[in-house]
Amino acid sequence: MLADIRSPRDLKALTPGQLAGIGAEIRAFLVDAVSRTGGHLGSNLGVVELTLALHRVFDSPGDRILWDTGHQAYVHKLLTGRQDFSRLRQQGGLSGYPCRAESAHDVIENSHASTALSYADGIARALRVQGMTGRAVVAVIGDGALTGGMAWEALNNIAASPDLPVIIVVNDNGRSYAPTVGALAGHLGTLRAADRDGRPARPAFFDALGLPYIGPIDGHDIGATESALRAAREAGGPMVVHCVTQKGRGYRHAEDDVRDHFHGIGVIDPLTGRSAGAGLPPSWTSVFGAEMVRVGATRPDVVALTAAMLAPTGLGPFAQAYPDRVIDVGIAEQHAATCAAGLAAGGLHPVVAVYATFLNRAFDQVLTDAALHRAGVTFVLDRAGVTGDDGPSHNGMWDMSVLQVVPGLRLAAPRDAAQLGAQLNEALDVDDAPTVVRFPKGAVGPDIPAVERVGTLDVLARTTAAADHHEVVLVSVGAMASTCLQVADRLAAHGTGVTVVDPRWVKPIDPALLDMARQCDLVVTVEDNTRIGGVGAAITQMMQDSGLAVPCRAFGIPAEFLPVAGRGQLLEELGLTPAALEQDILRRLSDHPPTRRPRRTPRPPHEVGTFRSGEHDDPTSEEGQGNGTSH
């Protein structure tokens, strides 16, 4: 029957038995399709009946159905004419989140949590201003997303407008990635327990706001859910419909998943539920997690914070080893940043582990609550740079640009596992400024040893220019080191001399880089971050401020949202591959004759020093410009 459903209208005349049959088909489809491509499985298995009920009661797209966070919209896609999941989260295929380019039924593309209620408030007000009556606005929000402060701000405003037709469907499964935390989660749990015991539920939180409430409703009972939704629609004003669902419903491996491995999966065997990626190299995330456990043994002052993502950010092992030193604040990155500043003021060194894309939400807190207070907080940014498959909002391509403007902040971009461990420990030694350590998604490659240490810079390779050929300083940022070494080999084949430098700390940049730049014809920077305001821009500014006339070519990501595709595909399209970089650099060198400069005498290798608080000035800051301070 599922193949015959081309739009929500096709659901209207179905019998309860037919709806149950379609629900079973949908679950079988999801397990089969998502196990082949990877994606969000558990969250979608939990909303099958709820989604069927929504599309039978409301008339999308005239009625606006909004999904928060959006990773539970696969069933919605199936019921709105999108049943080809063969390239889910791949180039040319369906997005893993609502996508306006795919369908008029997708209203927003909010793959960051806690936003749907604010969108709903604005859309409903817009309809009212334009005199468009009889159209409902429905926001489906999980109990996990309700922990976000933005959701509470929206509730405060929606509740103050008794004639606003906003229906808030709370999809309560007791989990975000992990069991939901906080007082509101406890209140929802109390309501569920009262319902199970046959006692009347007293929704004190919603009552206090003046929001009418229906529930708790069994979200897997289509008839009961439809009745509640119809009552909410007929009320004509804001209403909370509390639906209790089970994450992973109908797939035993997901139902029994206490660690939420089935929230978002890679390719798996659908029969066993086991990952098809067993035996892969360690990931950046796991390297960070292991180092945190080692740090915890010698640094009792180190505590960890997570925003409802303990396991995804690699903090699970630390939590097992030191359970009293982990704080899960829920989906509340702003609170995490300022709470961390408070922990630092109290004498601890907090480590806030979030995805790079989610730190955008806490920029003001990093700026004025951490940096202004010179708080010794370390932010660890997973999935930095191009991530690809989760779509435009999840690429962690903004962090090095956004954070460049924060006074005093120090930012590390490790190139390999060894440097991740070393630079994390260097960051933890800073107690008078926020520090950041960022790394990409996926498997970490082999360690790349330095041939020389100059200040805090690592020289990864040197090739000598042939007679009358150019000299290039190639600045490799973070995980782009392997690519840059391949570029150096390619350029050397043309007689070009190349010094490959890993700054390690990309804010501030060690002024020793200027000495290297004076010996070359072109400085090239390569980063998987936006070019505007990125590391290349900072190096260019530093060179200009010092009066150095050597040209600088900054390679990076344009300031635009990237489509769904794999990391390798996107890097190729962006020209961040060895072949593309080689050709671009050669074209630029061909426009200028080489400048003959005496090569400086190479320094002997340096021991790795400790990155201590207060030793390093930012040459791009007002105090650090022109003072010659070296790392």
The answer to whether the annotation marks 71 as part of a ligand binding site is: yes
Cα 368 from chain centre: 22
Q: CA–CA separation, 173 vs 272, rounded Å?
A: 24
Residue of 175, 325, 361, 504 with catalytic role: 361
| Contact status, residue 154 vs residue 120, Cβ threshold 8 Å | yes
Is 330 annotated in some ligand binding site? no
Most distant pair of Cα atoms in the chain: their distance = 89
CB 454 within 8 A of CB 630: no
Residue that has been written with the tokens 């040209």 in this structure: 551
Tell me whether residue 112 is annotated as binding: yes
111 is in an annotated binding site: yes
Q: How far apart are CA 551 and CA 539, in angstroms?
A: 11
Beta bridge partners of 378: 351, 435
| E-state strands within 177-266 | 213-218, 239-244
How many residues belong to the chain?
631
Which residues have C-beta within 8 Å of that of residue 24, sequence separation ≥ 6? 250
- Exposed, middle or buried by CB within 10 Å (0-12, 13-18, 19+), for 613? middle
Annotated ligand binding at 145? The verdict is yes
| 144 annotated among ligand-binding-site residues | yes
φ, ψ for residue 541, nearest 5 deg: -65, -40
Q: Which of 82, 175, 247, 441 is catalytic?
A: 247
Q: Is 374 left (phi over 0), alpha (psi -120 to 50) or beta?
A: left
Contact indicator for 564, 89 with CB cutoff of 8 Å = yes
What is the C-alpha to C-alpha distance for residues 88 and 194, in angstroms, rounded to an integer? 40
Reply yes or no on whether 573 is catalytic: no
- Give which of 33, 30, 97 is closest to 70, Cα–Cα: 97
To the query of whether residue 230 is one of the catalytic residues in this protein, the response is: no
Residue 247 catalytic?
A: yes
Asked whether residue 425 is marked as a ligand-binding residue, the answer is no
Residue of 488, 519, 490 lying closest to 502 (CA atoms): 488
Contact 267, 90 (CB under 8 A): no
Please choose, from the candidates 182, 145, 163, the residue with its C-alpha nearest in 3D space to the C-alpha of residue 154: 145
Query: Given the structure tokens 């490799």, which residue do they identify?
Result: 476
Report the alpha-carbon distance of residue 319 to residue 297 in Å, rounded: 13
Count of CB atoms situated within 10 Å of the CB of 298: 8
Residue 30's φ and ψ, nearest 5 degrees, are: -65, -45
C-beta of residue 325 within 8 angstroms of C-beta of residue 302: yes
Distance CA 269, CA 252 (A): 13
Residue 559 marked as a ligand binder: no
Distance CA 485, CA 318 (A): 34
For residue 402, give both structure tokens.
């956004």
Query: Which residue of the set 291, 333, 426, 471 is catalytic?
Result: 333
Instruction: Give the span between the Cα atoms of 110 and 179, in whole angstroms.
Output: 22
Which amino acids are annotated as binding site for thiamine diphosphate, given as ranges?
71, 111-113, 144-145, 173, 251, 333
Which residues are catalytic, by number?
247, 333, 361
Which amino acids are annotated as binding site for Mg(2+), given as ranges?
143, 173
